[in-house]
Amino acid sequence: MLGEPDEPADFDVVLSVCDALTAPCPDAIARVDGRAVVVVDPEPSVERTVAALRAGACDYVADPDDVDAVDTALRRILDKRAIEDSLRGLGARDAPFGGSEAILLGESAATRRVRATLERLRSSDSTVLVTGESGTGKEVVARLLHRNGRRRGGPFIAVSCAALPAHLVESEFFGHARGAFTGAEIARRGLLVEASGGTLFLDEVSSMPMPTQAKLLRAIQQRTVRPLGKAAEVEFDARIIAASNVELETAVSAGAFREDLYFRLNVVQIKLPPLRERGLDVLLLAQHFILRFARASDKHVLGMTTGAARALLSYNFPGNVRELQNWIEAAVALTRHDHITENDLLANLRVLPPSEANADEDSLSSWDTLEARHIARILEEAHGNKAEAARLLGIDRKTLYRKLRRHGTDVDDGEGD
């Protein structure tokens, strides 16, 4: 016989209690269209289990009196469906990709705040300081500021201050005359002048030597540079965007960065959130990278499985978007399926603790802990607004309430948030 829970629209799961001795109601299971079926069998056997699963049952519980087993089976299905709902919406929201074109994907509150700031800066030439952990997309934001601003027709020049040899830093930034030093066989204008009419992006600006910091400060204030070996100053007209993955205030306190240069660069600050604080953005970004690398390698890879999505959501990504991108590139190269699986991802992930990397997908003990932490982060991001948190999680509010209760959080179904 078939019995439905009290809220079928919410659970969308049918419990099938088998009272036949020979088979677990395969015909009844087949008649349940569009709903998951959990078979609860008072007379379990291998044959009956196989018959139930072949007939389309999602799970099989051997003891009708084992309430915990039934609850676990239902939660497994509901959690899986919540992720599937999120995955179904990815294709429609995925932005078109254009090779190296900068895009800022994501629907989390943190990402929307960054986009709102970028929108307000469209008509501004103000100096901008972009901060955030390594791999959060600081150069992407700099390119967006340039591409959407008034200087879009000019050059965009990016330079890593940490990568420049110490003896060539000043020459690179300010230029030099021919013969100014050994090896200077031709004159060079310098990056500030070359970026005139456009944008100069100073990545890892905290690595700039102190003497160069003093000269850069004067150059930004005066809008002129004096190339090495020349007496005359040269004007330039470049917008400066700087980026740092360390707190410049701390560097200033430690005497490693000039305070006056910090204030000059920090006219407008954009702080990029780490990927672990961006909720379901990780799935949207992963889908974007999957399609990009599938096209580049001419492979038929369309998306990811729910197991892969779980692995992504349970991992903190210390390397942020850059790490996710590299991870997905490897998974696309390795997979033999049209959807990336959890094994495709974990095969290339060497920093995830074994207790998480090797967790059985059917075991929800570790997943429950990870899910609780994930929901807590999203609620904090949504400032406690459960309607907004449910939207970011890709689930309805009833499902969110149920998950909160399961994780020991009291909620009020009648809340107006």
| Reduced 3-state DSSP string for 347-406 | CCCCCCCHHHHCCCCCCHHHHHHHHHHHHHHHHHHCCCCHHHHHHHHCCCHHHHHHHHHH
Rounded Cα distance between 357 and 203, Å, is 34
378 pLDDT higher than 90: no
Question: Would you state the pLDDT for residue 88?
Answer: 63
pLDDT, residue 96, reads: 38
The mean pLDDT of the chain is 78
CATH 3.90.1640.30 describes domain 109-272? no
Q: How confident is the model at residue 164 (pLDDT cuts 50, 70, 90)?
A: confident
Q: Is it the case that residue 8 has pLDDT exceeding 60? A: no
C-alpha distances in angstroms, 321 versus 117, 191, 205, 316? 20, 28, 21, 11
pLDDT of residue 107: 83
Domain edges within the chain: 2-65, 91-96+277-406, 109-272
Q: What is the mean pLDDT of residues 119-145?
A: 95
Name the residue with higher pLDDT: 323 or 375.
323
Instruction: Pick the range with the lowest mean pLDDT from 167-176, 187-196, 261-270.
Output: 167-176
Query: Which of 32-41, 242-251, 338-347 has the highest mean predicted lDDT (pLDDT)?
Result: 242-251
Q: What is the pLDDT of residue 366?
A: 42
Assign 30 a pLDDT band (cuts: 50, 70, 90): very low
| Exposed e or buried b per residue across 42-53, where buried means at least 16 C-beta atoms within 10 angstroms of its C-beta | eebeeebbebbb
Q: How far apart are CA 330 and CA 403, in angstroms?
A: 33
Most confident option among 89-98, 141-150, 305-314: 141-150
pLDDT given at position 238: 96
* Cβ(171)–Cβ(187) below 8 Å: no
Among 231-235, 325-329, 370-374, 386-390, name the one with the lowest average pLDDT.
370-374
- The answer to whether residue 24 scores a pLDDT higher than 50 is no
pLDDT beyond 50 at 383: yes
Contact (CB, 8 A) for 193 and 234: yes
pLDDT top residue among 132 and 279: 132
pTM over the 0.85 mark:
no
How large is the average pLDDT for residues 303-326? 88
| Residue 361 pLDDT > 60 | no
What CATH number has the domain spanning 91-96+277-406?
A: 1.10.8.60
The two structure tokens encoding residue 396: 């309805």
pLDDT-based confidence at residue 21 (cuts at 50, 70, 90): very low
Residue pair 85/99 in contact by the 8 Å Cβ criterion:
no
Q: How confident is the model at residue 90 (pLDDT cuts 50, 70, 90)?
A: low
Homologous superfamily of 2-65: Response regulator (3.40.50.2300)
Name which of 5-9, 171-175, 232-236 the model is least confident about. Answer: 5-9
Same fold for the domain at 2-65 and the one at 91-96+277-406?
no
